[in-house]
A = this chain, B = another copy of it.
Amino acid sequence: MTTKRRPSLKPRKVPQQSRAENTVTAILEAAASILEIRGMEGLNTNLVAQRAGVSVGTLYQYFPNKDALIVALSLQAQAAFFAEAEDALDQPTGQTALEYLISVSVRQQLRRPALARALDFEEGRPAIAKELASSQAAFHRLMQEILSRSDIPPQDNIEIATDDVLAILRALTDAAGERGEVRRSPLEHRVSRALSGYLGIIDTPPVESSRARSRRSRAS
């Protein structure tokens, strides 16, 4: 007992041998799959270790506590997302960049929808959010940069707009995942419409008709 400093949620030690790397991977995958199937309430460190084929002690060599598992999983997902998402900046216009981002988000979310939802959920917990702050900020910056492009109507409060856009993105993809949707394109459209409306992007008439047409045909 005595004094107990609040343990950081960062990984405790970096694996230095390859077998250790495997161990970490196995632990994370075990945690992911439990989270997916049983949710946070079914997640306990002993089970994770068992499923990963290691002892609890080993788990704790790499993760200081249970929350650190969630953090690591989130970070992993975010890194995967970011790797693809950054390319959005190469898009010529804000609108295409936004579409790109939507597409990436949707793709990621529908890969392991249940996991993604569970993580979205957990990321809301203060203890976790705190740890992910910097990573989240990177997202925020990326999105904000896109929203600041000249072809996107200027927003009253860019910070809030960014937050909201991300919230809508998450809400719709989570809902789709929960529903068991698997087709990406319809979801992308719906997100796109909500965001366009939110941001005040007018569907330019000429473009609109052609795009709408193609959408209609694709949607069938």
List A residues at the B interface (Cβ < 8 Å). 1-4, 6-7, 39, 41, 65-67, 121, 124-127, 156, 160, 163-164, 167-168, 170-172, 174-175, 179, 186, 190, 193-200, 219
- Expressed in whole angstroms, the Cα–Cα distance for A174 and B167 within the complex equals 9
**A6 — which chain B residues lie within 8 A by C-beta?**
3-4
Which residue of the partner chain B has the closest CB to A196?
A: B197
- Shortest Cβ-Cβ A-B pairs, 8 listed: A197-B197, A171-B171, A194-B198, A167-B171, A167-B175, A194-B194, A2-B127, A193-B198
Q: Is the CB of A66 within 8 A of B164?
A: no
Q: Which residues of B contact A172 (CB under 8 A)?
A: 164, 167-168
For the complex, give the distance between the alpha carbons of A124 and B179 in Å.
Answer: 13
Q: Out of B67, B156, B171, name the residue touching A170 (CB < 8 Å).
A: B171
Which B residues are CB-close (under 8 A) to A167?
171-172, 174-175
Q: Is the CB of A164 within 8 A of B156?
A: no
A68: min CB distance to chain B, Å = 10
Bound-state Cα–Cα, A190 to B65, Å: 39
What are the residues of chain B within 8 A of A193 when measuring CB–CB?
197-200
Copies of this chain in the oligomer: 4
Least CB distance, A187 to chain B, in whole angstroms: 9
A163 touches B175 (CB 8 A): yes
B196 touches A1 (CB 8 A): no
Q: Are A65 and B1 in contact (CB-based, < 8 A)? A: yes
Residue of B nearest to A9 (CB): B1
B1 with A67: CB separation less than 8 A? yes
Q: A118 CB to closest chain B CB, in angstroms? A: 10
Closest CB of chain B to A106's CB: distance in Å?
Answer: 13
Partner of A1, one of B39, B127, B199, B219: B127
Question: Which residues from B are CB-within-8-Å of A126?
Answer: 2, 39
**Least Cβ–Cβ distance between A58 and chain B, in angstroms:** 14
Which of A3, A124, A168 is most buried by chain B, counting CB atoms within 10 A of its CB?
Answer: A168
Asked if residues B127 and A186 are in contact (CB atoms below 8 Å), the reply is: no
Q: Is B160's CB under 8 angstroms from A2's CB?
A: no
Nearest CB of chain B from residue A161's CB, rounded to whole Å: 8
